Amino acid sequence: MKRICVTAAVLCCLLAVSAPASAAGLGEMRAKSAVLATEDGQVLFEQNADEALPPASVTKLMTMLLTMEAVEQGKASLDDVVTASAHAAEMGGSQIYLKEGEQMTLDDLLKSIAVASANDAAVAVAEHLAGSEAAFVDRMNARAKELGCTGTTFVNPNGLDTDGEETRTTAADLVRMSAELLRHEEILQYTSIWMDSVRGGAFGLTNTNKMLRLYDGMVGLKTGYTSTAGYCISAVAQRDGMRLIAVVLGEPDKQSRNEDITAMLNYGFANYALADILEEGQDCGSVPVELGMQPSVAAQLADDAPVLMEKAGAEQLERELVLAERVQAPVRQGTKLGEAVLRLNGEEIARRDIVAAEDVARKGLLAIYRELLSFLLMKQWAFAGAFS
């Protein structure tokens, strides 16, 4: 194996991610439960993260996720015309006041859910996608299990309190749902809307997430409130290429909710940053190919996603590329050729595969024979020239 070491000064002095911050690291949250995490699930702070609590309208994260997945899979279209049932029209709380038999596009209903937290729109969408609200709730619970949510039970698609039944989930589970929803970037086109309208402009929508105007970089996702659940939110903000998810459940009031979310996000952006696997302008080089139709194969990272680092007093990162001395043809694109290793103060903090960027076919027997013949002729001419 050949090794290439690069030591890079890191402007913001990066350190590897440590264990999640304790509650004391931020001061005690007034929320009953809180989590700060990256969109790929790295937890930076947690407090009672696995306590099952009512999430109120933050429930609609799963409703929006199943909607986005249905559209992406071709099982539904944003242009679908949805007819409101009597059941959807009877929903209370936040709503767009659907009438039984009223028709609206799935696009407008999704916007109403994301922006105005419309409970009637959530039920109408559920019935449209699954045939009934109960069938949709079954899908919600099944999808939660697929995502690894262990403390979640949905009873409806909107989070309203019902007689004898109550949706329960955890802040940790809501981070999982939020992260999965963020895989559908189009949802941010809805959750970042401040004001809009439906019914051809006749009914106005104003976002329930006031943090969109209060916090720099806020792009969504979903607020919630009932007298039972208290004030809740799954908030997503992004700065300098880094996206963070902050979830709180059971806040006593809106101000506490906003202050705790602000404190968590400020903590994340102030103490963490992203480091690229390779230096700017650096590539992975190439590896010689034996019996290949070309002499070498270009190498590239299998995953070039940056690594989250904790800002601290370190001065350097060391990047090491470990490549195979050679490979034999045929080589398929994606074949592992080595590894890229990041170390800080001698401690490994990340390791990524380096793979072939292209296919390289193996030479046929005729090509090998021609090369051998050419080599022998050249040797013969060289030998003859030595005695001429």
The amino acid occupying position 243 is R
Active site residue 222: no
Contact call for residues 118 and 95 (beta carbons, < 8 A): yes
Cβ atoms of 382 and 317 within 8 Å: the answer is no
Among 41, 229, 55, 43, smallest CA distance to 147 is for: 41
Q: What is d(CA 115, CA 222) in angstroms, rounded to the nearest whole number?
A: 8
From 60, 111, 222, 363, the catalytic residue: 60
Tokens of 342: 């990041």
Nearest to 53 by CA among 222, 236, 233, 259: 233
Distance of CA 26 to the CA centre of its chain: 24
User: 269 with 239: CB under 8 angstroms?
Assistant: yes
195 burial type by CB count under 10 A (0-12 exposed, 13-18 middle, 19+ buried)? exposed
Catalytic residue check, 60: yes
59 in Cβ contact with 156 (< 8 Å):
yes
- Marked catalytic residue, from 57, 94, 112, 234: 57
What CA–CA distances, in Å, run from 320 to 282, 288, 359?
A: 12, 19, 25
Report the first-to-last Cα separation within the chain, whole angstroms. 44
Number of other residues whose CB lies within 10 A of the CB of residue 172: 23
Per the CB < 8 A criterion, the answer to whether 154 and 141 are in contact is yes
Peptide bond between residue 330 and the one before it cis (omega within 30 degrees of 0): yes
Is 178 a residue of the active site? no
The H or E element containing residue 185 is none
**Position 215: which residue type?**
Y
Token pair for 229: 């659940």
**Residues forming a β-bridge with 21:** 45
Catalytic residue among 33, 94, 112, 117: 117
C-alpha torsion sign, points 79, 60, 245, 198: positive
Candidates 286, 303, 239, 231; CA nearest to 265 is 239
Q: Residue 47 is encoded by which pair of tokens?
A: 């407090």
Q: Catalytic amino acids?
A: 57, 60, 117
